[in-house]
Chain A
Amino acid sequence: MDLNYSPEQLAFASEVRAFTRANLDPEVARKVLEGSRLEREDYLGWHRALHKKGWVGVGWPKQFGGTGWNSTQQHIFDEVTADEGAPQLIPFGLRMVSPVIMAFGNKDQQDYHLPKILSGENWWCQGYSEPGSGSDLASLKCKAERDGDHYIVNGQKTWTTLGQYADWIFCLVRTSSEGRQQEGISFLLIDMKTPGITVRPIIMLDQEHEVNEVWFDNVKVPVSNRVGEENKGWTYAKFLLGHERTGIAGVGRCKRIVKRLQHVAKQAKSNGRPLIEDVRFRDKLAQVEIDLRALEITLLRVLAAEAEKRAPGPEASLLKIKGSEIQQTLTELTMMAAGPAALPYVREGEHGAADVPWLSDEAFRFASGHYFNFRKTTIYGGSNEIQRNIITQMVLGL
């Protein structure tokens, strides 16, 4: 047992860092480090740079154009690129629908979709949740009725993250009302340009446009766009959620936020002394750092176990709960560090730093916005209460 990186792993980390510094647009890095909002091109520029290098298929098998990296390398890549201010790779295509297409899609679907996901040509979004189907996802109503070689899709999806940028959406649709509700669901790949699809923004509490409603009004989808068998979609949906799990812990991003928080806690003053000297604040920072290290090692244990084809241990299901709690704590601490600078509502472009000279530190411009935004983390991807139900059943057997 050794929790240190080997010389080869350290060399790999240096390689990733050098590549990131040479290829990441500094303006994008600035936005990421400061936490301001990113546009479609900000994500895609980095995506294309990685694709050119052959590094975009992190976690993909080599046969589909993946990097073939082991779990530790994947973690190093995540940690180093996050530290340098690289935007998160949008997971919907790369980490969510791709594993489903690889495992259950036919050759035509693999040949058509996977290269376009790798290149960044097609941006994907997720059509799972509906207004009446949140935690109880299997109750979904969005309907797909067979009409010759097509399905006619009618209904509504919601909480569609960055759907405003998407070229394609993967959807869970109801193809049968017979029997158990889980057994009447199919998995469809839908081109967002198909007539009858409407995307409407949902403005979140931080007043940002991140998620959407997606409406389907007699949308014609070729039957050939169905993944796997009709009415077996629930199986694929659960498979996908399993792949969502490890990424959602957000360890790399959390480490970046901790580093920044350490920095601002030394700059900001409290009662005339650096904030870091305030024992009440320092204890909170120390605690979240310790929790994050425990999460990181637990994540590495899970990844190592999965890589060796051992069954994921009970710790796998804990990552989402702990990771989201830590992310929320970090955004809350950053807001606390801001003090009175937490109050103003400032948006990139509308009020640049130059327009708000009374803010002592730019680091705090988005502190409260992030705090509000990150309340989502304990809700999305299966709320933390649902995660506890899952662990209760699957791990504790209660």
Chain B
Amino acid sequence: MDFNLSDEQNALKDSLAKFIDRDYTFDHRWKIIKSAAGWSRSHWNQLAEIGLMALPVAEADGGLGGNGVDTMLVMEELGRGLVVEPYLGCVVLPAALIKASGSEAQRAALSEGLASGETLYAFAHSEPGQRYERNAVATTAAANGAGYVLSGKKVSVLGGDAADQLLVSATVTGDAAPSLFVVPATATGVRRLAYPMQDAQRGADIELSNVEVGADALLGERGKAAAAIEYALDVACAALCAEAVGAMAELHKITVEYLKTRKQFGRPIGMNQALQHRAVDMLMHVEMSRSMAMEAAVACDNPDPSARAKAVSAAKTLVSQGCRYVGQNAVQLHGGIGVTHELNTSHYFKRLTMISVTFGDADWHLGRYGDTLLAAA
């Protein structure tokens, strides 16, 4: 039991915090989200210089071998700065998938571009009508000589707009469980519809129409990807929890500041007890969420998948509830200005809301946690 950070972790947190404070103000971000791409390659490269892209990649594969807590520290800062560069979608998630499923040679080959930040990967997994189901994959992979032909539709692919390579989940004809394939985004038969998302991050829907790939496109073993997908989505959920804590804490701070400065009836509105107690309850959500983000981060390195799943779903349930409470009430306490686009309040609110419904909302994770109670019965 130890809540201390190592010197390396403190240094990482500090350099990232400096980057956010200096190069990622609300004005910087405004310009970035209004640009055609919607994110900034030069900021991306700065993050790579700090070492973020190499962080979740194993040392054996040329990375820094960071653990769940390292990712937590990074995501918390990115949340505080509302960073839109696709770190979760194009680094955290693919790194976890590649680590958990790739052969030694594949890990080495794929990790190089990942760890340098030069190659963007995205996980094309969610499908129309499936909500949060993790292993019901309707996209098909039909054997085609030594290779495969992929067909199907993927939706809300994080970073899918910019990805060079897609990690596609698909079920090989006759298999009970899905497989993973590495598919170049420019391959013949891949059509993507890129779009900005509600929170100004970018994503894409992707259609695969008879996309031919070689045998070497299969990541890991055929029909054995379920565990890697579960792992990677748990890692992503833990990362989202940490990002939410960074965003929630900042939004709470902004709101308390507003309560001190906004005057009505000749005095600061923060003198009203109804608003004071709301601000306290928001703080409670922030601190309870912070505790559970730690729980989830540590759980990502737990070799027991059921213990990991239980801790991550506990965290994602509580943090999603926190996102909702802190987000909605920050807007409410700001009054009219809170529902405008010009103030950062609404931007935090939208990001928190999207986090709460990404990779399982509070109800879905509460159900997954509840299933563990049944299993123990």
CB–CB A304/B256 < 8 A? no
Q: Is the CB of A3 within 8 A of B298?
A: yes
Name the residue among A3, A304, A305, A397 with the largest chain B CB count within 10 angstroms.
A3
**Could you tell me the distance in whole angstroms from the C-beta of A381 to the nearest C-beta in chain B?**
17
Asked if A282 and B1 make an inter-chain contact with CB atoms under 8 angstroms apart, the answer reads: no
Is A271 located at the chain interface by the 8 A CB criterion?
A: no
Interface flag for B36 (CB, 8 Å): no
Mark the stretch among B24-32, B288-296, B353-361 that contacts chain A: B288-296
Given A3-B294, A6-B1, A276-B373, decide whether A287 and B366 contact each other with a Cβ distance below 8 A: yes
Residue of B9, B280, B318 most packed against chain A (CB within 10 A): B280
Interface hit among B102-110, B190-198, B271-279: B271-279
Residue of A nearest to B73 (CB): A1
B-side interface size class: 35 or more
Contact flags (1/0) for A251-278 with B, using CB distance below 8 Å? 0000000000010001000000010110
Q: Are A286 and B288 in contact (CB under 8 A)?
A: no
Is A72 a contact partner of B1 (Cβ separation < 8 A)?
A: yes
CB interface residues, B 299-323, toward A, < 8 Å: 314, 317-318
Choose, from A18-26, A139-147, A293-301, A338-346, the stretch at the interface: A293-301
Q: With A3-B295, A283-B370, A392-B279 in contact, is A294–B1 under 8 Å at CB?
A: no
Q: Assess the A286–B298 pair: CB atoms within 8 A.
A: no
What chain A residues lie within 8 Å of B289 (beta carbons)? 294
Evaluate contact between A283 and B1: CB separation under 8 angstroms. no
Partner of A322, one of B69, B256, B284, B290: B284
- CB–CB B291/A2 < 8 A: no
From DSSP, what is the main secondary structure of chain B's interface residues?
helix
Q: Is A11 an interface residue when CB atoms closer than 8 A count as contact?
A: no
Chain A residue with minimal CB distance to B377?
A266
Report whether A1 and B314 are in contact in the complex, using a CB–CB cutoff of 8 Å: no
**Shortest distance in angstroms between B270's beta carbon and chain A's nearest beta carbon?**
4
B57 to chain A, nearest CB (A): 20
* Smallest beta-carbon distance A108→chain B, Å: 39
B370: which A residues are within 8 A, CB to CB?
279, 282-283, 285-286
In the complex the two chains form, what is the Cα distance from A322 to B287 in whole Å?
11
Chain B residues near A318 (CB, 8 Å)? Answer: 283-284, 287-288
A389: interface (CB < 8 Å): yes
Total count of chain A residues near the partner, CB < 8 A: 45
- B113 contacts A by Cβ under 8 Å: no
CB distance from A124 to the nearest CB of B (A): 31
Partner of B318, one of A294, A314, A385, A392: A294
Cβ contact within 8 Å between A392 and B277:
yes
Given contacts A300-B3, A398-B259, contact A321 B284 (CB under 8 A): yes
Contact with A along B227-267 (1 / 0, CB 8 A): 00000000000000000000000000000100110000000
Q: Compute how far the CA of A298 lies from the CA of B291 in the bound complex, rounded to whole angstroms.
A: 6
Whether A286 pairs with B373 at a CB distance below 8 angstroms is yes
- Which parts of B66-98 form the interface with A (CB within 8 Å)? 69
The answer to whether A391 has its CB under 8 Å from any CB of chain B is yes
Nearest Cβ on chain A to B144's Cβ, whole angstroms? 44
Q: How far is the CA of A266 from the CA of B276 in the complex (A)?
A: 42
B42 interface residue (CB < 8 Å to A): no
Contact of A4 among B259, B280, B290, B298 (CB under 8 A): B298
Given contacts A262-B373, A282-B374, A295-B288, 12 further A-B contacts (CB under 8 A): A1-B294, A282-B370, A285-B370, A289-B314, A290-B317, A290-B369, A293-B292, A297-B291, A297-B294, A388-B276, A396-B276, A398-B268
Taking beta carbons and an 8 Å cutoff, which residues of B are in contact with A? 1-5, 9, 69, 256, 259-260, 268, 270-271, 273, 276-277, 279-281, 283-284, 287-292, 294-295, 297-298, 314, 317-318, 366-367, 369-370, 373-374, 376-377
12 contacts between A and B (CB under 8 A): A1-B3, A274-B377, A277-B374, A282-B374, A283-B367, A286-B369, A286-B373, A290-B369, A293-B292, A294-B291, A388-B281, A389-B273
Residues of A within 8 A of B (CB): 1-6, 9, 72, 262, 266, 274, 276-277, 279, 282-283, 285-287, 289-291, 293-295, 297-298, 300-301, 304-305, 314-315, 318, 321-322, 385, 388-389, 391-392, 395-398
